[in-house]
Structure 1
Amino acid sequence: MADPITLRSERPRSQRLRSLVDRVAAARREDNGTLSAVFLLVATVVALVWANSPWGATYTSFWHTPLSIQIGSRGIELDLQHWVNDGLMALFFFVVGLEVKREFAMGELRDRSRAAIPIVAAIAGLALPAALYLVLNPSGEAASAWGVVISTDTAFLLGTLAIIGPERAVRLRIFLLTLAVADDVGALAIIAFFYTEDLSVTPLIVSLVGLALIASLRQLKVWRGAGYGVVSLVTWVAMYFSGVHPTLAGVMIALILPVYPPRRREVERASDLARAFRQSPSPEYARAARLGMEQAVSVNERLMRLYQPYTAFIIVPIFALANAGVVLSSDTLRAAATSPITWGIVLGLVGGKFIGITGATVAFARARRGSLTPGLTIPQVAGGAALSGVGFTISLFIVDLALPNQALADEARVGVLLASVLAVVLGAIVFRVGNRFSPPPAEPPTTLLRRVDPKRDHIRGRVDAPLTIVEYGDFECPFCSKATGSTREVQAHFGGEVRYVFRHFPLDDYHPHARHAAQASEAAAAQGKFWEMHDTLFLHSDALEPDDIDGYAAELGLDLERFEEDIRTGDFATRVLDDDLDALTSELPGTPTFYLGVAGSKPKRHNGPHDAATIIRELEALRAGRPEAGRESDGRPEAGRELDGRPEAGRESDA
């Protein structure tokens, strides 16, 4: 099944600017996950083959070649390996910082209740591995390498999950991405506080001044990258001389840069400037149009989109090439086989991550019922926790920081490589065992995935009504509009005995305005007028441009300024995405899709026609407890119903 975020991201940018901006970071990770893992794996294999070949001596001599940059009598001299580790990896950590900032401002970590389980699991996945490592290495130089076991390599995690993970695991992927971001936050904090050398005050002050200048550039609304680039370079150099690891300059700069959803007036201004350039092409209008488009999208989003491919496909593979080349001689392997460093890393990454993440998730889910996202199972979490033992990139990075002794560093690198292999094997076993004891259904689930929750769901009718209709719909779908009229007839027939619940399933690839309309309905709900907006949007399903929707909001008497700001900055995109993911996890065939139920049982998917007479007949049968309910349906959607957004042949469609 296609992943929803990747599917949406493939649409033309001109059609869905908001959707693109909302999801650019996630989409990049989705696109890069497997492929970047392949690049990283190839670089690792090349490094190992090179280091253990007859030309292995050239591996060490090449990466220890000194390179100096001097201005007058002052300069920096590092070997090539440390130019990679201290210089190029600053850009990697810069991108990590951009992702962390975005997730806290606009992503999964914005809603702390939604992110509670992944955050708790990430904390346990940081603490337990470190504790297990220190059990085997309680003191001495080896103890300083406890940070090697704290982090998860996101690229390898996503890549292996795509290969050996379960089907219908959309929610697991979201869970692991959220966990990985929280894990990154912990890893960055540990590097900053525990792997900083002796501080030099004057360069540290200069670096702080550089960070303040970057913040000032932001306040002055400087949009061009040259100014940021010069100040960032000075900040990196000052942080290098201060004793703080210079890669942290990248993180701190990223956390300063602003991130926000696009403001509509800025998008419209960019459109006006582009129109002006089209009517009168000139260098001045070209520059104005380009700057207008850049200003419409936050610096965070633009830089993430610019640099993430470079870090995923160039910098991180070069880092692996420079650091993974362990000479696997008999002496090295013999030393590693009895080394507490090697086995401490294996125990921490493989055992600690698996036990810590799984145990914390189980404990939290039991303590707070309903906190585990529908569609996400403990066996799936356990498999993902096992794969989280692939530490690799940051693990090798901390090996270089913690162990200057080359022999001990080689033992640690062997541990990192062995742990990565064992984590993948353990993950495959856990997924296989989980499928055996809790096999996935051969067919898509037919019962409602997320129970009806009066605190969350939009319900028309009595909240405690004995009969339930749940519709997954799309405001731009003409058949949904007709089906909504049918549900009114059903409610009129049963009176107060039926409650109608509406959930969102926007088919972005065929209905370009559906997601914005869904978010608009949620913004109207914040002002107590969801159903009024719901009915209005379906009444005008062929006119859902943003200006049209603003007009409907004005007609409904909504506070327009609050309405527009809520759509831009509120949690409504997340709410709509939750419904969307529920629908995709349940593999709904299209829109509209109905679930029908009676009190005391879970609503089940209705496969027959969705006219009022059929739904009334189904509900009557459910209320009477007759097993023949739904038997008249042949299991196929009726003519004209949208399948994956495509109407059946022979029927007119607005798609």
Structure 2
Amino acid sequence: MSVPAQMRRGFADFFHLEVSGSIVLLVATISAMILANSPLTETYFALWETKIGIKVGTFEFIESLLHWINDGLMAVFFFVVGLEIKREFMVGELSSLRKATLPVMAAIGGMLIPALTYIIFNADGAGIRGWGVPMATDIAFALGVLALLGSRIPVGLKVFLTALAIADDIGAVLVIAFFYTAEIHWYWLGIAALLFLLLVSFNVFKVRASYLYLIVAIGIWFAFFESGVHATIAGVLTALFVPTQPRRRPIEFVVWGREKLNELEQVGMQGHDALENHPQHVLAEALRQAARHVQSPLRRLEHTLHPITTYAILPLFALANAGIPLSGGRFFDILLQPVSLGIVAGLVLGKQIGITLFSFLAIRLGLADLPTGVSWVQLYGASWLGGIGFTMSIFVSGLAFLNDSFILQAKAAILVASVIAGIFGFLILFLTSQSQTTAETSEAAA
């Protein structure tokens, strides 16, 4: 299979996983909203404050369940994000300057304009720290909306939105690392640096044992947690050290595999019962292990962890964080606060303006090309979907604000803005795109 064919197959798998994951994420979000506004509301909020941890002698590491989800499990999510970023830079849509320019420029516009829009509403207020909240894009929900449109949407638009969201993730990681770190303990960062050097040595000496990387990754996570830098950053940085080269080259495996298959054929013809044929089991296991080593550690880890983050970690994060009390007219009062207005305006207006404007500039200046089969109206429709901030925006809001009332305002605004952006993005693309089948029928009639 050629590299372009592998890339198309890989993107198709990624797209379908994100789309199905968005359904699970939606169910978790609705469940959180129902629980937060039901007779179980006190139990729902108390559950996430349950203390969990370990204690050995004088050492103890105990945090609330909510912290374990937001700082622990989400580090795994960001580790997968890091793997995706590295893959995109190696062989994907960010692998060359020409290919990367459009989604990167669009992402920059989609972060800069929403942040400035938010600041307009909160320039003189206590909520100014929330400028990073409307910068994020939730890739799962954005691709989920595209999936509803089926064959109406060209592949080029799906690839563009995916690359834009990944570039957006890079921006979110940088914002978290540089602007939402309150206090730094350099001693622990020094320990993390030494552990990163250990990962470098693993790469130099071609160490491929996954469990060694896992042990060091846990150590890096703990060091970051104690350093004051958000522990999820450890996930992204650790992913960058995961090897991209397999232990065994494919052509070597083909030659070796043919020999083993011939041996397996000879052993299988000896007439032994399958349960008694020990040589057959040995050969089959050797083939299985060798086939595993043909795949790079990066691809293997991404293939293993992506479904876990999509179907378990992100839905659990939404279940724990998306519960917003809607009692009485309080919800509408919350939406009229400067923090809420800034986030809604940033996600709904800032995203579409920033993505479209910076994309136009990149193409007009000759730095990039409009994706094949994609019209300007379709790109504009996709820019609306960039305003679906949801999980990433909620995550950033938890870092930006220490005040519970601000966090509540941010969550309410993110929910409303994401719904508005999703609906308008869907309608624009639905009304301006015709399905592939209809297009082919029209061409045949002409």
Match for 2:388 among 360, 377, 390?
390
Q: What is the Cα deviation at residue 270 of structure 1?
A: 5.8
Match for 1:85 among 70, 78, 81?
70
After superposition, where does 1:338-357 map in structure 2 within 5 Å?
Answer: 338-357=336-355
SS of equivalent residue, structure 2 residue 152: coil
Match for 1:275 among 234, 241, 261?
261
Aligned to 1:58: 43
- State the distance in 1 between where 2:280 and 2:192 align: 41
Match for 2:324 among 326, 333, 337?
326
Aligned to 2:378: 380
Aligned to 1:121: 106
Q: Does 1:194 align with 2:179?
A: yes
- State the distance in 1 between where 2:202 and 2:140 align: 33
Match for 1:360 among 358, 361, 368?
358
Q: What is the Cα deviation at residue 22 of structure 1?
A: 4.3
Q: Deviations over 1:385-437 (max 9, x none)?
A: 001100111111111111121111111100000001100122133225535xx
Is the CA contact 2:101–2:368 (under 8 Å) kept in the aligned structure 1? Answer: no
Is the CA contact 1:24–1:301 (under 8 Å) kept in the aligned structure 2? Answer: no
Q: Aligned AA for 2:331?
A: L
Bigger drift between 318-327 and 208-217 goes to 208-217
SS of equivalent residue, structure 1 residue 256: coil
Aligned to 1:300: 298
Change (3 A) 1:269 1:209: farther
Q: What is the Cα deviation at residue 100 of structure 1?
A: 0.4
Match for 1:39 among 7, 24, 32?
24
Match for 2:193 among 205, 208, 220?
208
Is the CA contact 1:117–1:364 (under 8 Å) kept in the aligned structure 2? Answer: yes
Q: Does 1:238 align with 2:236?
A: no
After superposition, where does 1:221-620 map in structure 2 within 5 Å?
Answer: 221-260=206-245, 263-268=249-254, 271=257, 275=261, 278=264, 279=267, 281=279, 288-330=286-328, 332-368=330-366, 371-432=369-430, 434-435=432-433, 442-444=438-440
Q: What is the Cα deviation at residue 131 of structure 1?
A: 0.6
Is the CA contact 1:105–1:260 (under 8 Å) kept in the aligned structure 2? Answer: no
After superposition, where does 1:18-37 map in structure 2 within 5 Å?
Answer: 22=7, 25-37=10-22
After superposition, where does 1:128-167 map in structure 2 within 5 Å?
Answer: 128-164=113-149, 167=152
SS of equivalent residue, structure 1 residue 359: helix
- State the distance in 2 between where 1:337 and 1:418 align: 9
SS of equivalent residue, structure 1 residue 78: strand
- State the distance in 2 between where 1:266 and 1:211 align: 31
Bigger drift between 16-25 and 315-324 goes to 16-25
Change (3 A) 1:144 1:165: farther
Bigger drift between 206-215 and 380-389 goes to 206-215
What do you get for the CA RMSD once the two structures are aligned? 2.7
Q: Deviations over 1:464-515 (max 9, x none)?
A: xxxxxxxxxxxxxxxxxxxxxxxxxxxxxxxxxxxxxxxxxxxxxxxxxxxx
Is the CA contact 2:335–2:412 (under 8 Å) kept in the aligned structure 1? Answer: no
Is the CA contact 1:350–1:422 (under 8 Å) kept in the aligned structure 2? Answer: yes
SS of equivalent residue, structure 1 residue 199: coil
Structure 1 length as normaliser, TM-score?
Answer: 0.62
**Larger helix fraction of residues:** 2
Identical aligned residues as a percent: 37
Q: Aligned AA for 1:412?
A: A
Change (3 A) 1:260 1:230: closer
Q: Deviations over 1:567-605 (max 9, x none)?
A: xxxxxxxxxxxxxxxxxxxxxxxxxxxxxxxxxxxxxxx
Q: What is the Cα deviation at residue 204 of structure 1?
A: 1.0
Is the CA contact 1:134–1:146 (under 8 Å) kept in the aligned structure 2? Answer: yes
Change (3 A) 1:414 1:72: same
> Rg: which structure is higher?
1
Aligned to 2:168: 183
Is the CA contact 1:148–1:395 (under 8 Å) kept in the aligned structure 2? Answer: yes
Change (3 A) 1:27 1:215: farther
